[in-house]
Structure 1
């Protein structure tokens, strides 16, 4: 039985207020089919979709059938994003390498273009992944009012509100942050590990020569002393009856 999405609220009111700022070069630039009229524009939309979900798509990660359907208008950008998020590349590179909380954070950042509001939102979407799987969580996010109001059917998701007030630079883009190398994944492989890659310095030959004063040089002499010789009567502590040696005081005496 699938659980409904748990109710959660933003931790602050800032996430509900539209930002008021002057545009600059770090503002997000969204691309979609609504403004794509040439073949180069369509290629730019496809590349931005790969960059948003995978950061970089190698040749083996690309799906020529999906790209052809998008160019011919058989599917929308939202359908293309859904297929990329449910692809084998995303499953192997992101979903299989993280827990549900980290996958939730990653999906919200990539699909909704914002960080999670609080831990309560992580728990809510993690419960959806637990009951419906990652496919059910992706479908619920892409069908949500927040996604449709901000990106619609033909706009590639992008990071919203990247520029923060009183900062010279904006936040790190979500598409270049990978969850594979966080503390959870590093702990599985036992990292951090210290690996020495330099050249080991060898000691000179004179450093291995004994110059007297070493305790090991006197060990044969200590063993030859009368008190250290083997007497033959070895008493083991395991054979001692400790209870018989404890003073006993009976009641009434």
Structure 2
């Protein structure tokens, strides 16, 4: 008996209005697409953008790359959408993401990376988690990439991107929102990599008075033994 799919309503109206970006020129995402017959260099950027979107930057390893799929995309044998689906269903994605997370986290992660947005509410997260539990990861991915939302925003030739990458209070140095694993700004990277102040004085150990050995404590005899030089043979 299959688990009934939970019905939910959208509790946010943000999808109906234009987003408010702190700096539109900087916050507008770059669109990677094959519609304009990209050059070899541009195709390299498109492939990199696909890996970065699906695996995020900290998971782009030699094991996650698939030269055969890349070759098919370069020679227009498959579309960007097909490439994205293959990455999502790859052993690398399953090993690095699906096997080590619960269904709720998988739903959040896939909506961020496939649809470019967070979950609308807890009921949406629960509804998709039920699909993952009942029908598996493949059915869940198929539902996302074949949804009207994916088709309207990305189609078959656009790499998914974060549709609402808003930085609040940029002047205070907050980390940019990007798939929960942000690309750090230059100022933040400098701050994070700055040298720490180190003291040249020796570090002294402090032993509380109540922990000091008392008369008859074996620790006192051990100290005496350590001070006695071994006898020459």
CA contact (8 A) 1:51 1:175 kept: no
Q: CA deviation at 1:2?
A: 5.3
Q: What aligned pairs does 1:169-184 form with structure 2 within 5 A after superposition?
A: 171-174=176-179, 176=181
Q: CA deviation at 1:170?
A: 7.5
Q: What aligned pairs does 1:55-204 form with structure 2 within 5 A after superposition?
A: 55-56=56-57, 57-163=60-166, 167-168=169-170, 171-174=176-179, 176=181, 201=205
- Pick the structure with greater CA Rg: 1
String of CA shifts for 1:181-235, please: whole Å, max 9, x gaps. Answer: xxxxxxxxxxxxxxxxxx78387xxx9675xxx6x79xxxxxxxxxxxxxxxxxx
String of CA shifts for 1:23-56, please: whole Å, max 9, x gaps. Answer: 2212211201113420011110000000111123
CA contact (8 A) 1:66 1:80 kept: yes
Distance 2:45 2:147 in 1: 26
Distance 1:82 1:111 in 2: 9
Kindly indicate whether residue 15 of structure 2 is the aligned counterpart of residue 15 of structure 1.
yes
State how many pairs are aligned. Answer: 189
CA 10–202 in structure 1, closer or farther in 2 if over 3 Å, else same? same
Secondary structure of 2:24's match? coil
Q: CA deviation at 1:12?
A: 2.2
Secondary structure of 1:114's match? coil
Which residue is equivalent to 2:200? none
Which residue is equivalent to 1:51? 52
CA 15–5 in structure 1, closer or farther in 2 if over 3 Å, else same? farther
Gaps of 5+ in 1: 178-198, 218-253
String of CA shifts for 1:52-88, please: whole Å, max 9, x gaps. Answer: 1112322222101100110111111011001111111
Distance 1:93 1:110 in 2: 14
What is the root-mean-square deviation in Å for CA atoms of aligned residues?
2.9
Distance 2:5 2:212 in 1: 71
Secondary structure of 1:66's match? helix
Secondary structure of 2:163's match? coil
Which residue is equivalent to 1:32? 33
TM-score of the pair, normalised by structure 1:
0.66
TM-score of the pair, normalised by structure 2:
0.72
CA contact (8 A) 2:50 2:159 kept: yes
